[in-house]
Amino acid sequence: MPSLNSHNRDAPIGIFDSGVGGISIANAITKLLPNEEMIYVADSANAPYGEKSPDLVLARCQRIIDFLISQKVKLIVVACNTATLTCIGKLRSLYAIDFVGVEPGIKPALQATQTGVIGVMATANTLKSPQYAQLQKRFSGDKAIVNQACKGLVEQIENLHFDDAQTIEMLQQYLDPMLKANADHIVLGCTHYGFLSEQIGKIVGRQTTLVNTSEAIAKQVENRLIALDIFTSKKQKANSRIYSSQFDEKTRFTCETLWHGNFTKTSAFDIN
């Protein structure tokens, strides 16, 4: 299928998530590919996707992708585990543009575990999806997976409540079954959760490894740019653009606080 974009090597990369979680992926891309411009859309008005119906998630993805294509992006990163698992196959059939998705890193965790047990922190929809069930079946073998739906964590992160007492209490509650099961690797199965790595690490200790796929996704983006021969020709660090569907001072501050690279400004994204 021919690509909708013109493969203009200096075109931006599109990236989106249900909120600010995908900024963790954007930061990893910026670190690896600092000259690549990005257009980031945070659909914070509808966060988290992990508690929405698959039809609504698909509709939101289509609305955002239509916008990104109108901005002449050369590649789109679906920086949301729920959106990737529930609808990236449908998106690839609807749009003639290259996509990079994200999914929980259970494969590397299962390959590395010494205790035979891993934990997975994710949203309810991610854990309920048939695609996630297929991932478990494909890679688990004789290993055990302790799955934990982490209701409320996305909202805490969207509000920058990283060290809030309620956030720490939630983490302790969600991590306790994994630790009791002797899990030695914990998969951060939502892009938001990477922002809580420090807090999670303090609870689980150094003997437990956190699996965050942000750097692997950035490498995958680099590989797609190589395959398509669309690396930017720009020699200076890029200025990216940030959009949010919940455009208020708090959300603007959150986006700009978490973003590591250069950006021009944060703008409103029409939610309709």
- Cα separation of 59 and 87, whole Å? 10
Options 61, 80, 87, 150, the catalytic residue: 80
Which residue in the list 61, 150, 190, 255 is annotated as catalytic? Answer: 190
Burial class (CB in 10 A: 0-12, 13-18, 19+), 92: middle
**Phi, then psi, of 159 in degrees rounded to 5:** -95, 10
Whether residue 190 lies in the annotated active site = yes
Dist. CA 84–CA 97, nearest whole Å? 15
Helix residue spans in 72-152 (DSSP H): 81-94, 106-112, 124-128, 130-139
Q: Which two tokens stand for residue 268?
A: 């409103």
Q: Which residues pair with 40 in a beta bridge?
A: 15, 242
- Other CB atoms within 10 A of residue 171 CB: 21
Taking each helix axis from N to C end, the angle separating 54-70 and 81-94, rounded to the nearest 10 degrees, works out to 60
Question: Are 102 and 132 in contact, with CB atoms under 8 Å apart?
Answer: no
Tokens of 177: 């079954």
What are the structure tokens assigned to 252, written together? 């603007």
The sign of the dihedral angle between the CA atoms of 142, 124, 217, 170 is: negative
Active site residue 150: no
Q: Please identify every residue annotated as catalytic.
A: 80, 190
